[in-house]
Amino acid sequence: MKFLDQAKIYIRSGDGGAGSVSFRREKYVAYGGPDGGDGGRGGDIVVEAVDGLNTLIDYRYKQHFKAGRGGHGMGRQRHGASAEDLILKVPVGTQILDEDRETLIADLSRLGDRVVLAEGGNGGWGNIHFKGPVNQAPRHANPGAEGRERWVWLRLKLIADAGLVGLPNAGKSTFLSVVSAASPKIADYPFTTLHPNLGVVSLGEDTRFVLADIPGLIEGAADGAGLGTRFLGHVERCAALVHLIDGTADDVVASWETVQGELAAYGGGLDGKPQVLCLNKTDAMLDEDVAEKLAALEAASGGKVFAVSGVSRDGVRAVLGALWHEIAKARGVVTPFLEEEEAGLADFHVDVLEAQADDDDGAAEGRWQP
Protein backbone atom coordinates (compact mmCIF):
# COMPACT_ATOMS: atom_id res chain seq x y z
CA MET A 1 0.00 0.00 0.00
CA LYS A 2 1.33 3.41 -0.95
CA PHE A 3 2.02 5.75 1.96
CA LEU A 4 0.24 9.09 1.81
CA ASP A 5 0.26 11.52 4.72
CA GLN A 6 -1.47 14.58 3.20
CA ALA A 7 -4.67 14.97 1.20
CA LYS A 8 -6.98 17.81 0.25
CA ILE A 9 -10.68 16.97 0.06
CA TYR A 10 -13.94 18.75 -0.69
CA ILE A 11 -16.87 18.08 1.63
CA ARG A 12 -20.51 19.11 1.43
CA SER A 13 -23.21 18.25 3.93
CA GLY A 14 -26.69 17.38 2.74
CA ASP A 15 -29.47 19.86 2.05
CA GLY A 16 -32.58 19.74 4.18
CA GLY A 17 -35.78 18.46 2.62
CA ALA A 18 -38.51 20.89 1.65
CA GLY A 19 -41.71 21.25 3.65
CA SER A 20 -44.98 20.20 2.09
CA VAL A 21 -48.02 22.29 1.12
CA SER A 22 -50.98 20.01 1.66
CA PHE A 23 -54.59 20.18 2.90
CA ARG A 24 -56.66 17.57 4.62
CA ARG A 25 -59.45 16.43 2.33
CA GLU A 26 -61.62 13.66 3.66
CA LYS A 27 -65.25 12.89 3.02
CA TYR A 28 -67.56 14.01 5.80
CA VAL A 29 -64.73 16.01 7.46
CA ALA A 30 -65.37 19.74 7.30
CA TYR A 31 -62.67 22.35 7.55
CA GLY A 32 -59.80 19.92 7.09
CA GLY A 33 -57.15 22.61 7.09
CA PRO A 34 -53.43 22.39 6.26
CA ASP A 35 -51.54 19.20 7.05
CA GLY A 36 -48.22 19.49 5.19
CA GLY A 37 -45.31 17.73 6.91
CA ASP A 38 -41.76 18.98 7.53
CA GLY A 39 -38.73 18.08 5.46
CA GLY A 40 -35.98 15.82 6.83
CA ARG A 41 -32.56 16.97 7.94
CA GLY A 42 -29.57 16.64 5.58
CA GLY A 43 -26.67 14.35 6.44
CA ASP A 44 -23.61 15.56 8.36
CA ILE A 45 -19.99 15.08 7.28
CA VAL A 46 -18.21 13.31 10.14
CA VAL A 47 -14.53 12.34 10.36
CA GLU A 48 -13.65 9.47 12.71
CA ALA A 49 -10.30 7.98 13.75
CA VAL A 50 -10.41 4.21 13.38
CA ASP A 51 -8.04 1.31 13.90
CA GLY A 52 -6.35 -0.57 11.08
CA LEU A 53 -5.37 2.42 8.92
CA ASN A 54 -1.91 3.99 8.66
CA THR A 55 -2.17 6.04 5.46
CA LEU A 56 -4.50 8.51 3.74
CA ILE A 57 -4.29 6.70 0.41
CA ASP A 58 -8.11 6.33 0.36
CA TYR A 59 -8.33 10.07 -0.23
CA ARG A 60 -5.85 10.12 -3.09
CA TYR A 61 -8.24 8.97 -5.80
CA LYS A 62 -11.48 10.34 -4.40
CA GLN A 63 -11.50 13.91 -3.12
CA HIS A 64 -15.17 14.92 -3.25
CA PHE A 65 -17.59 13.77 -0.53
CA LYS A 66 -21.25 14.78 -0.36
CA ALA A 67 -23.80 13.69 2.20
CA GLY A 68 -27.38 12.82 1.25
CA ARG A 69 -30.32 15.20 1.16
CA GLY A 70 -33.20 14.96 3.60
CA GLY A 71 -36.53 13.68 2.38
CA HIS A 72 -39.32 16.12 1.49
CA GLY A 73 -42.38 16.49 3.68
CA MET A 74 -45.70 15.00 2.58
CA GLY A 75 -49.38 15.35 3.26
CA ARG A 76 -51.13 14.03 6.36
CA GLN A 77 -48.35 15.61 8.44
CA ARG A 78 -45.81 13.06 7.26
CA HIS A 79 -42.25 14.27 7.80
CA GLY A 80 -39.43 13.51 5.42
CA ALA A 81 -36.70 11.11 6.53
CA SER A 82 -33.39 12.52 7.73
CA ALA A 83 -30.40 11.56 5.60
CA GLU A 84 -27.63 9.38 7.00
CA ASP A 85 -24.38 10.98 8.08
CA LEU A 86 -21.37 10.45 5.83
CA ILE A 87 -18.50 9.15 7.98
CA LEU A 88 -14.96 9.53 6.66
CA LYS A 89 -12.58 7.07 8.32
CA VAL A 90 -9.00 8.20 8.88
CA PRO A 91 -5.97 6.80 10.77
CA VAL A 92 -5.38 7.72 14.39
CA GLY A 93 -3.15 10.79 14.51
CA THR A 94 -4.81 12.65 11.64
CA GLN A 95 -5.06 16.41 11.86
CA ILE A 96 -7.74 18.35 9.98
CA LEU A 97 -6.67 21.76 8.72
CA ASP A 98 -8.58 24.54 7.03
CA GLU A 99 -7.95 25.36 3.38
CA ASP A 100 -5.12 27.72 4.38
CA ARG A 101 -3.24 24.66 5.77
CA GLU A 102 -2.52 26.57 8.99
CA THR A 103 -5.78 26.75 10.96
CA LEU A 104 -6.21 23.54 12.95
CA ILE A 105 -9.81 22.35 13.00
CA ALA A 106 -9.38 19.07 14.88
CA ASP A 107 -6.67 16.66 16.01
CA LEU A 108 -7.84 13.05 16.08
CA SER A 109 -5.06 11.68 18.27
CA ARG A 110 -7.00 8.88 19.97
CA LEU A 111 -8.91 5.89 18.72
CA GLY A 112 -12.59 6.73 18.36
CA ASP A 113 -12.15 10.50 18.18
CA ARG A 114 -14.65 12.05 15.81
CA VAL A 115 -15.62 15.53 14.69
CA VAL A 116 -18.48 16.97 12.64
CA LEU A 117 -16.92 19.04 9.89
CA ALA A 118 -20.14 20.16 8.20
CA GLU A 119 -23.64 19.96 9.62
CA GLY A 120 -26.52 19.06 7.36
CA GLY A 121 -29.21 21.60 6.56
CA ASN A 122 -32.44 21.66 8.57
CA GLY A 123 -35.61 20.47 6.95
CA GLY A 124 -38.18 23.07 5.89
CA TRP A 125 -41.46 23.54 7.73
CA GLY A 126 -44.68 22.34 6.16
CA ASN A 127 -47.65 24.65 5.77
CA ILE A 128 -49.22 23.35 8.98
CA HIS A 129 -46.82 25.61 10.90
CA PHE A 130 -48.17 28.75 9.21
CA LYS A 131 -51.88 28.45 9.95
CA GLY A 132 -53.47 31.01 12.20
CA PRO A 133 -56.67 32.91 12.82
CA VAL A 134 -55.94 35.26 9.95
CA ASN A 135 -54.40 32.82 7.45
CA GLN A 136 -56.27 29.59 7.94
CA ALA A 137 -55.23 28.06 4.63
CA PRO A 138 -51.53 28.90 4.08
CA ARG A 139 -50.29 27.90 0.68
CA HIS A 140 -46.58 28.14 1.31
CA ALA A 141 -43.90 26.08 3.10
CA ASN A 142 -40.22 26.52 3.80
CA PRO A 143 -37.60 25.02 1.53
CA GLY A 144 -34.89 23.01 3.24
CA ALA A 145 -31.74 24.78 4.39
CA GLU A 146 -28.71 24.26 2.19
CA GLY A 147 -25.81 22.16 3.41
CA ARG A 148 -22.35 23.56 4.10
CA GLU A 149 -19.38 23.07 1.83
CA ARG A 150 -15.65 23.58 2.33
CA TRP A 151 -12.21 22.36 1.35
CA VAL A 152 -10.07 20.87 4.12
CA TRP A 153 -6.64 19.30 4.41
CA LEU A 154 -6.00 15.97 6.09
CA ARG A 155 -2.51 15.57 7.53
CA LEU A 156 -1.37 12.36 9.16
CA LYS A 157 1.09 12.43 12.03
CA LEU A 158 1.95 8.89 13.00
CA ILE A 159 1.48 7.89 16.61
CA ALA A 160 4.88 6.64 17.79
CA ASP A 161 6.61 6.61 21.18
CA ALA A 162 10.07 7.30 19.76
CA GLY A 163 11.55 8.43 16.46
CA LEU A 164 14.80 7.83 14.59
CA VAL A 165 16.50 10.91 13.15
CA GLY A 166 19.81 11.51 11.45
CA LEU A 167 21.52 12.19 8.15
CA PRO A 168 20.89 9.90 5.18
CA ASN A 169 22.73 6.58 5.47
CA ALA A 170 23.18 6.96 9.23
CA GLY A 171 21.84 3.43 9.71
CA LYS A 172 18.31 4.26 10.88
CA SER A 173 16.54 1.60 8.82
CA THR A 174 19.07 -1.04 9.84
CA PHE A 175 18.56 -0.14 13.48
CA LEU A 176 14.78 -0.40 13.12
CA SER A 177 15.03 -3.79 11.41
CA VAL A 178 17.25 -5.08 14.23
CA VAL A 179 15.12 -4.01 17.18
CA SER A 180 11.70 -4.80 15.68
CA ALA A 181 10.02 -7.05 13.16
CA ALA A 182 9.79 -4.22 10.61
CA SER A 183 11.42 -4.75 7.23
CA PRO A 184 12.31 -1.33 5.82
CA LYS A 185 14.30 -0.98 2.63
CA ILE A 186 18.05 -0.97 3.32
CA ALA A 187 20.68 0.05 0.76
CA ASP A 188 24.07 1.80 0.57
CA TYR A 189 22.87 5.00 -1.10
CA PRO A 190 21.23 8.12 0.36
CA PHE A 191 17.47 8.50 0.78
CA THR A 192 16.71 4.81 0.75
CA THR A 193 13.81 5.58 3.07
CA LEU A 194 11.22 7.59 1.17
CA HIS A 195 8.37 7.36 3.68
CA PRO A 196 8.11 6.66 7.42
CA ASN A 197 8.30 3.11 8.73
CA LEU A 198 6.96 1.88 12.06
CA GLY A 199 8.19 -0.99 14.21
CA VAL A 200 7.07 -2.32 17.59
CA VAL A 201 9.97 -2.87 20.00
CA SER A 202 9.28 -5.46 22.67
CA LEU A 203 11.42 -5.39 25.81
CA GLY A 204 9.27 -7.83 27.70
CA GLU A 205 5.74 -9.07 28.06
CA ASP A 206 4.35 -5.74 29.28
CA THR A 207 7.04 -3.41 27.92
CA ARG A 208 6.50 -2.36 24.34
CA PHE A 209 6.80 0.84 22.39
CA VAL A 210 6.48 2.02 18.79
CA LEU A 211 9.58 3.27 16.98
CA ALA A 212 9.33 5.40 13.83
CA ASP A 213 11.98 5.70 11.13
CA ILE A 214 11.74 8.77 8.88
CA PRO A 215 13.72 9.86 5.80
CA GLY A 216 17.14 11.39 6.46
CA LEU A 217 17.76 15.10 6.90
CA ILE A 218 20.41 17.09 5.09
CA GLU A 219 21.60 20.65 5.44
CA GLY A 220 18.95 22.99 4.09
CA ALA A 221 16.13 20.48 4.49
CA ALA A 222 14.00 23.16 6.15
CA ASP A 223 14.27 25.13 2.89
CA GLY A 224 13.28 22.15 0.76
CA ALA A 225 16.63 20.44 0.17
CA GLY A 226 16.54 16.68 -0.14
CA LEU A 227 13.14 15.36 0.93
CA GLY A 228 12.55 18.41 3.11
CA THR A 229 11.34 18.33 6.69
CA ARG A 230 7.69 17.43 6.10
CA PHE A 231 8.19 13.94 7.50
CA LEU A 232 9.35 15.39 10.81
CA GLY A 233 5.67 15.81 11.59
CA HIS A 234 5.54 12.06 12.20
CA VAL A 235 7.87 12.35 15.19
CA GLU A 236 6.28 15.45 16.73
CA ARG A 237 4.22 13.28 19.07
CA CYS A 238 7.17 11.12 20.15
CA ALA A 239 8.32 11.10 23.76
CA ALA A 240 11.99 10.88 22.73
CA LEU A 241 14.26 10.77 19.69
CA VAL A 242 17.11 8.45 18.80
CA HIS A 243 19.72 10.50 16.96
CA LEU A 244 22.00 8.20 14.96
CA ILE A 245 25.30 9.57 13.68
CA ASP A 246 27.41 7.76 11.12
CA GLY A 247 30.69 7.06 12.94
CA THR A 248 32.56 6.62 9.65
CA ALA A 249 31.93 10.28 8.74
CA ASP A 250 34.93 12.62 8.80
CA ASP A 251 33.30 15.18 11.11
CA VAL A 252 30.71 13.63 13.44
CA VAL A 253 30.22 16.89 15.31
CA ALA A 254 29.24 18.64 12.08
CA SER A 255 26.76 15.82 11.38
CA TRP A 256 25.21 16.32 14.80
CA GLU A 257 25.01 20.09 14.36
CA THR A 258 23.38 19.76 10.93
CA VAL A 259 20.52 17.61 12.19
CA GLN A 260 20.07 19.72 15.32
CA GLY A 261 19.86 22.82 13.16
CA GLU A 262 17.17 21.30 10.94
CA LEU A 263 15.16 20.16 13.98
CA ALA A 264 15.29 23.70 15.38
CA ALA A 265 14.34 25.20 12.00
CA TYR A 266 11.33 22.90 11.71
CA GLY A 267 10.00 23.87 15.13
CA GLY A 268 7.25 21.91 16.84
CA GLY A 269 9.45 21.50 19.91
CA LEU A 270 11.55 18.79 18.29
CA ASP A 271 14.88 20.37 19.28
CA GLY A 272 13.76 20.30 22.92
CA LYS A 273 12.71 16.65 23.05
CA PRO A 274 14.85 14.16 25.01
CA GLN A 275 17.43 12.57 22.74
CA VAL A 276 19.42 9.35 22.91
CA LEU A 277 22.54 10.27 20.95
CA CYS A 278 24.31 7.33 19.30
CA LEU A 279 27.57 6.94 17.40
CA ASN A 280 26.57 4.27 14.89
CA LYS A 281 28.55 1.85 12.69
CA THR A 282 31.24 1.25 15.29
CA ASP A 283 31.80 -2.19 13.76
CA ALA A 284 33.55 -0.43 10.86
CA MET A 285 35.78 1.71 13.09
CA LEU A 286 38.99 1.29 15.06
CA ASP A 287 38.72 1.41 18.84
CA GLU A 288 40.81 4.57 19.08
CA ASP A 289 38.61 6.30 16.48
CA VAL A 290 35.48 5.30 18.42
CA ALA A 291 36.90 6.75 21.64
CA GLU A 292 37.99 9.96 19.92
CA LYS A 293 34.67 10.60 18.21
CA LEU A 294 32.68 9.70 21.32
CA ALA A 295 34.65 12.27 23.29
CA ALA A 296 34.11 14.91 20.59
CA LEU A 297 30.35 14.30 20.48
CA GLU A 298 30.01 14.32 24.25
CA ALA A 299 31.88 17.61 24.44
CA ALA A 300 29.68 19.16 21.75
CA SER A 301 26.34 17.84 22.98
CA GLY A 302 27.05 18.00 26.68
CA GLY A 303 25.48 14.60 27.31
CA LYS A 304 26.09 10.88 27.12
CA VAL A 305 26.75 9.33 23.72
CA PHE A 306 26.21 5.62 23.10
CA ALA A 307 28.48 3.58 20.86
CA VAL A 308 26.30 1.26 18.82
CA SER A 309 26.36 -0.95 15.75
CA GLY A 310 23.15 -2.01 14.09
CA VAL A 311 24.97 -4.67 12.08
CA SER A 312 26.77 -6.40 14.95
CA ARG A 313 24.09 -5.36 17.52
CA ASP A 314 26.74 -4.05 19.90
CA GLY A 315 25.35 -1.49 22.34
CA VAL A 316 21.77 -1.88 21.14
CA ARG A 317 20.53 -3.01 24.55
CA ALA A 318 21.89 0.05 26.30
CA VAL A 319 20.32 2.36 23.73
CA LEU A 320 16.90 0.76 24.08
CA GLY A 321 17.22 0.84 27.85
CA ALA A 322 17.91 4.58 27.79
CA LEU A 323 15.12 5.12 25.27
CA TRP A 324 12.60 3.21 27.37
CA HIS A 325 13.64 5.28 30.37
CA GLU A 326 12.54 8.47 28.55
CA ILE A 327 9.33 6.86 27.25
CA ALA A 328 8.46 5.55 30.71
CA LYS A 329 8.86 9.04 32.17
CA ALA A 330 6.52 10.43 29.52
CA ARG A 331 3.98 7.69 30.25
CA GLY A 332 4.32 8.15 33.99
CA VAL A 333 5.65 4.61 34.46
CA VAL A 334 8.22 3.98 37.21
CA THR A 335 10.97 1.60 36.09
CA PRO A 336 14.56 0.97 37.16
CA PHE A 337 17.31 2.08 34.84
CA LEU A 338 21.05 1.50 34.87
CA GLU A 339 23.48 3.58 32.82
CA GLU A 340 26.18 0.96 32.29
CA GLU A 341 26.88 -0.23 28.77
CA GLU A 342 25.22 -3.60 29.26
CA ALA A 343 22.28 -2.11 31.16
CA GLY A 344 18.70 -2.89 30.34
CA LEU A 345 15.43 -3.79 31.92
CA ALA A 346 15.20 -6.87 34.08
CA ASP A 347 12.81 -8.47 31.61
CA PHE A 348 14.86 -7.47 28.55
CA HIS A 349 15.71 -10.77 26.88
CA VAL A 350 17.98 -10.95 23.84
CA ASP A 351 19.04 -14.58 23.96
CA VAL A 352 17.05 -15.39 20.83
CA LEU A 353 18.49 -12.35 19.07
CA GLU A 354 22.09 -13.32 19.81
CA ALA A 355 21.47 -16.94 18.88
CA GLN A 356 20.07 -15.87 15.51
CA ALA A 357 22.55 -13.07 14.80
CA ASP A 358 24.26 -15.09 12.08
CA ASP A 359 21.06 -16.22 10.42
CA ASP A 360 21.56 -15.55 6.72
CA ASP A 361 17.94 -14.85 5.85
CA GLY A 362 17.44 -12.39 8.73
CA ALA A 363 14.14 -13.99 9.67
CA ALA A 364 11.84 -12.23 12.06
CA GLU A 365 12.46 -14.79 14.82
CA GLY A 366 15.98 -13.36 15.17
CA ARG A 367 14.66 -9.98 16.24
CA TRP A 368 12.82 -8.55 19.18
CA GLN A 369 9.24 -9.53 18.61
CA PRO A 370 6.21 -7.28 19.11
Closest CA to 67 of 86, 82, 81: 86
Alpha helices for the chain (secondary structure H)? 172-179, 252-266, 287-301, 316-331, 351-355
Share of the chain above pLDDT 70, in %: 86
322-357 pLDDT, tens digit per residue, is 898 888 888 776 555 434 333 433 333 333 333 333
pLDDT at position 14 is 96
* pLDDT-derived band at 94, boundaries 50, 70, 90: very high
pLDDT at 192: 76
Q: What percent of the chain shows pLDDT beyond 90? A: 46
Q: What is the pLDDT of residue 335?
A: 56
pLDDT of residue 253: 93
Nearest Cα to Cα of residue 175 among 48, 1, 306: 306
Indicate if the pLDDT at residue 364 is higher than 60. no
Task: Report the amino acid identity of residue 78.
Answer: R
Reported confidence tier of residue 146, pLDDT bands at 50, 70, 90: very high
Question: What average pLDDT does range 142-154 have in this prediction?
Answer: 95
pLDDT score of 358 more than 50: no
Q: Which domains does the chain have, with CATH numbers?
A: 1-156 (2.70.210.12), 162-366 (3.40.50.300)
Computed over every residue of the chain, the mean pLDDT equals 84
Q: What is the mean pLDDT of residues 294-302?
A: 92
Mean pLDDT of the 98-119 span: 94
**Which pLDDT score, from 0 to 100, does residue 334 have?**
59
Check residue 366 and give its pLDDT. 38
Q: Is 60 within 8 Å of 5 (Cβ atoms)?
A: no
pLDDT at residue 363 tops 60: no
